[in-house]
Amino acid sequence: MRAFLSHSSKDKTHYVERVADWLGKDNIHYDAWTFEEGERPLDEILRGLDRADIFVIFLSSNALSSEWVIREIVEAEVRLEASLIEKVFPIIIEDGLTYEDERIPDWLRDNYNVKPIKRPYVAARRIHNKLRELSWSRHPELKKRQEIFVGRNDKQEEFEIRIHDFDKIKPTVIVASGLPGVGRRTFLQRALNKTNISRSTHNSSAIVLDRNVSIEDFIFKLNDLGLVDLDGDILSLSDASIKTKAEIIHKIMKAGRLQELSATRLLN
């Protein structure tokens, strides 16, 4: 499974390059890594599209003004209609740009939920999840292998009963305790999947904390999840009081709850 990363070269350093680093060379077609030296760029673009399963387009004013990106979008549409590309994933990466922008082709605007993703880490995680979905659809045995879970049936049933009990308030925090290495994360992932809180193809975000992690470090880790725009708060974080820092954390947690991102796990 591979994703073709379509982007303007002007967006490479501050966004696309970071997505590529997270996904890894084996999972993407990315010009800086996979285009061969001495070849015509157009030939390399067409070759990459022919080998791609997902077409990812990073939308910005730079991209929508690029002749190369427009050509890639046209070629991707042709391959999508011929079922040579299975998925298209448009991502807005520029403030102020919306799906209503007339420069975005109608077939993208009308058929896809075109929304901004400000954090490269979040975009990379979403792309990774889509690649996994495709992999499992082609090879169901991989999905079965991933979903194997043995033991703790009583705890699983207890979890399901509590989640499905409509006479009680829905829990907003789930704590799994125990010694390191006993399978807390695996248990939580299985439980969240069985109760439809998260999808089995999606890897939940994990923030690992220990006694050496400061409250500032915790906020930076939360900021990487991309739940809210904290750029202004981050810039003044060093001068902020403990109360202000706690309010920033509450702001992120509230955003996560409103977006129903309860699959995010905070483990200590």
How far does Cα 265 stand from its chain's mean position? 15
Residue 76, pLDDT score: 95
CA distance 8 to 65: 9
Tell me the chain's radius of gyration from C-alpha atoms. Answer: 21
* Nearest alpha carbon to residue 132 among 181, 78, 202: 202
| Side-chain-side CA neighbours of residue 211 (13 Å) | 0
The residues, any chain, with a CB within 8 Å of residue 164's CB and separated by 6 or more, are 195
Residue 171 is classified by DSSP as P
Residue 68, pLDDT score: 93
The single-letter code of the amino acid at 87 is K
CA distance 165 to 41: 58
Residue 170, pLDDT score: 80
With 0-12 / 13-18 / 19 or more C-beta atoms within 10 angstroms meaning exposed / middle / buried, residue 104 is buried
CA distance 71 to 240: 48
Task: Answer whether 198's CB lies under 8 Å from 204's CB.
Answer: yes
Q: Is 254 helix (H, G, I), strand (E, B) or coil?
A: helix
* Nearest alpha carbon to residue 123 among 28, 10, 34: 28
- Judged by phi (left if over 0) then psi (alpha if -120 to 50, else beta), residue 91 lies in beta
Residue 203, pLDDT score: 65
CA-to-CA separations, 200 to 32, 170, 176, 196, 211, in angstroms, rounded: 32, 21, 19, 9, 31
Q: Is 212 helix (H, G, I), strand (E, B) or coil?
A: coil
- For the chain, residues with pLDDT lower than 50 are 258, 260-268
* Nearest alpha carbon to residue 200 among 253, 257, 152, 145: 145
**Domains, the chain:** 3-141 (3.40.50.10140), 147-202 (no CATH), 205-268 (no CATH)
Residue 227, pLDDT score: 67
The residues, any chain, with a CB within 8 Å of residue 106's CB and separated by 6 or more, are none
Residue 231, pLDDT score: 61
Task: Answer whether 130's CB lies under 8 Å from 87's CB.
Answer: yes
Q: Is 56 helix (H, G, I), strand (E, B) or coil?
A: strand
Residue 171, pLDDT score: 81
* Nearest alpha carbon to residue 237 among 257, 216, 222: 216
